[in-house]
Amino acid sequence: MSRLSSPPVIVAALLLLLAGAGALGWLWLRDGRMTPTAIVILFLPVALLIAGMTAWGTDRSQIGITAWALTMFGALVPAVYVTQSGPDNWFAQWRFMVAFGVAYFAIMVVFMLWLAAWTAWVAPAPGAMPLPEHRLKRRIESLANAGLNLRVERPADRPEQLLVTRDFRGGKRTIGVRLTFVSAGHCVRAREVSLVRGDKPMNTGEARMSSSLRPRDGTHPDADIIYDASLTLTPPNEAIRRRIAPRIADDRVEIAGDGEAAADPANLAHVLTEVVHQSGWGWQGVFFDWQRGCR
């Protein structure tokens, strides 16, 4: 895939170009003013977007994060309008800022949902014929015997799902991936969940996760014990999947590469992604159960 013709790059550039052209064109041309500032603000985000794509390669997570970050330049339009227009007509300024904010938010919500789905998609391996669903499930269930300390469960009320979990740090933390198999499109929707049950903080960020009320002096006490449950989505990483290098024979999966990387709880999604990828199915990371589509 070309770095500059990737879908999020094109969509982000078009959104910025159209929003910038419309907003800045109206702001400056209606008063008969076309200043260098308008031209710079109009084309700088697009130029930075293209430069970032050219320099940072074609990895989907890099492209997605870059496209998301650079669309934030659109928020500069109201600020530029206020600083350039002065305090002559505050009513018109605030009217424009509210209208721009509503339109910008509506466009960005749709774009971010699409971009997140695109970033979390892994296509089937080239040339791989999609396996029947029951065989792919057997391959994933065989991971329970691959030395990774995984549990693979079949929910009784959801025959189209598998739940893959791993406990670590003495059972005080769990990371799980709920896999929903869409046979019609040969796609697996993956929803990740992480749980912390009364564990010590592992880093500075977790140490600030105290649920107690903040003192009146504005400080936030460090947490001695934390409890947390959160949705996560691991961006695909082909380099990690190559390191793990699972080997599949007779619907049994073994880790032929870096065993330590495969056993790392943070890489659980990468192990599952590679098994699905080699089996001729697509992998679609999702945040919520109501997300139904696969690319």
Q: What average pLDDT score do residues 32-50 get?
A: 59
Beta carbons within 8 Å of 81's beta carbon, 6+ residues apart: 23, 27, 93, 96, 97
Name the pTM for this structure. Answer: 0.71
**Position 59 pLDDT exceeds 80:** no
**Position 45 pLDDT exceeds 90:** no
Q: What average pLDDT score do residues 248-264 get?
A: 88
**Position 217 pLDDT exceeds 60:** no
Model pLDDT for residues 82-92, shown as the tens digit of each residue: 666 655 655 55
What tokens appear for 154 in the block? 């079949």
**Predicted local distance difference test score (pLDDT) of residue 1:** 46
Model confidence band, residue 18 (pLDDT cutoffs 50, 70, 90): low
**283 near 117, Cβ under 8 Å?**
no
State the chain's mean pLDDT as an integer: 76
N- to C-terminal Cα distance for the chain?
Answer: 16
Q: What average pLDDT score do residues 193-215 get?
A: 69
Give the closest residue to 119 by CA, choosing from 62, 185, 73.
62
What tokens appear for 23 in the block? 């907003």
Most confident range, picked from 46-55, 133-142, 212-221, 246-255: 133-142
**Predicted local distance difference test score (pLDDT) of residue 249:** 84
**Position 50 pLDDT exceeds 70:** no
**Position 148 pLDDT exceeds 60:** yes
Q: What average pLDDT score do residues 139-163 get?
A: 90
**Predicted local distance difference test score (pLDDT) of residue 280:** 93
Of the listed ranges 73-82, 184-193, 259-268, the least confidently predicted one is 73-82
What tokens appear for 57 in the block? 């390669």
d(CA 7, CA 4): 9
Residue 228 or 250, more confident: 250
**Position 64 pLDDT exceeds 80:** no
